[in-house]
C-alpha cells in the first residue's frame, strides 16, 4: 500500500517496467494511451487516499476517483485502489472486474475478461502472492489463497486454494497442469531494491 510520495513514484515505476519492460518513453506511454493512464490514476487515488489527511487531499482523492471511473468506463476495467502491489499490468482493453476485498502482491499480469471476486460473504475474496499471471477469461473467486509464481490459464475457474508455489493451473474447476508457473522478472527488485518487504 502506498504510504509516501517515494512509494507512489516507485509503484508507478514498477508498473512502467511491468508494461514496457523498461522505463517507458513518452511515445510508448502515448501509444499505450488510456491503459497506461489508468495505472497512473489508480496510483494517484491510492496516494491521496492513504496519505492525505486534509480537506484538500480529500478533494484531490475524489477528483482522482472520478477520473479513474471515467477511464474505467472507456476501457472496461473496474480495479479498486489498494488491491494490487507494484508492477501491475493489465495487457489489453476489455472487461476486468476486481473485488475491493481482494489482495494481490507484486508483479501481477492480467489479460481481458478476468473476474476476481468475493463469494460466500462480502469480504470472502482471494489473496494472491507475487508474480501472478492471469490468462484471458479466468475467474478467481472466494476466500482462497494463491501463492507466488502461479500462472492461471485462459478461461480457468479457480475457486479453491492452491497449495503449491510456481505451478500452472487451468480448467473448470482449476487444477495443477504443470510445475512451471509464471516466469516473471521481478521488476520491483530492479526498480526499488531497498524497499522493506
User: In this model, does residue 196 exceed pLDDT 80?
Assistant: no
- Residue 102 forms part of a structural domain: yes
- pLDDT for 7-63, tens place per residue? 999 999 999 999 998 888 888 888 889 999 999 999 999 999 998 788 998 999 999
Contact (Cβ atoms closer than 8 angstroms) between residue 17 and residue 10: no
Kindly list the distances between the CA atom of residue 94 and the CA atoms of 48, 76, 78, 102, 151, in Å, as whole numbers in the listed order: 27, 5, 10, 20, 20
pTM comes to: 0.90
Which conformational region is residue 179 in: left (phi greater than 0), alpha (psi within -120 to 50 degrees), or beta?
Answer: alpha
Look up the domain containing 115 and give its range.
5-178
Closest residue by Cα to residue 85 from 7, 144, 22: 7
> How many alpha carbons fall within 13 Å on the CB side of residue 95?
7
> Tens of pLDDT along 56-107?
989 999 999 999 999 999 999 999 999 999 999 999 999 999 999 999 999 9
* Domain CATH for 70: 2.160.10.10
* Residue 18 forms part of a structural domain: yes
Q: How many domains does the chain have?
A: 1
Q: How far apart are CA 67 and CA 61, in angstroms?
A: 10
- For residue 157 the three cell numbers come to 475457474
Quick check: is 155 in a domain? yes
Amino acid at each position: 500500500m502506498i504510504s509516501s510520495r517515494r512509494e507512489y513514484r516507485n509503484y508507478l515505476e514498477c508498473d512502467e517496467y511491468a508494461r514496457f519492460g523498461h522505463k517507458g518513453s513518452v511515445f510508448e506511454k502515448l501509444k499505450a494511451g488510456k491503459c497506461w493512464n489508468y495505472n497512473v490514476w489508480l496510483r494517484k487515488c491510492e496516494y491521496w487516499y492513504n496519505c492525505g489527511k486534509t480537506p484538500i487531499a480529500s478533494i484531490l482523492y475524489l477528483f482522482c476517483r472520478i477520473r479513474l471511473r471515467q477511464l474505467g468506463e472507456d476501457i472496461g476495467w473496474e480495479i479498486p485502489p489498494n488491491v494490487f502491489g507494484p508492477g501491475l499490468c493489465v495487457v489489453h482493453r476489455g472487461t476486468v472486474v476486481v473485488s475491493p476485498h481482494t489482495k494481490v502482491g507484486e508483479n501481477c499480469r492480467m489479460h481481458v475478461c478476468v473476474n476476481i471476486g468475493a463469494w460466500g460473504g462480502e469480504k470472502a475474496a482471494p489473496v494472491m502472492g507475487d508474480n501472478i499471471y492471469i490468462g484471458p477469461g479466468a475467474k478467481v473467486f472466494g476466500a482462497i489463497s494463491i501463492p507466488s509464481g502461479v500462472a492461471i490459464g485462459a478461461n480457468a475457474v479457480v475457486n479453491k486454494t492452491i497449495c503449491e508455489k510456481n505451478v500452472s493451473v487451468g480448467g473448470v474447476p482449476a487444477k495443477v497442469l504443470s510445475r512451471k508457473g509464471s516466469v516473471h522478472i521481478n521488476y520491483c527488485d530492479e526498480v526499488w531494491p531497498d524497499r522493506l518487504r
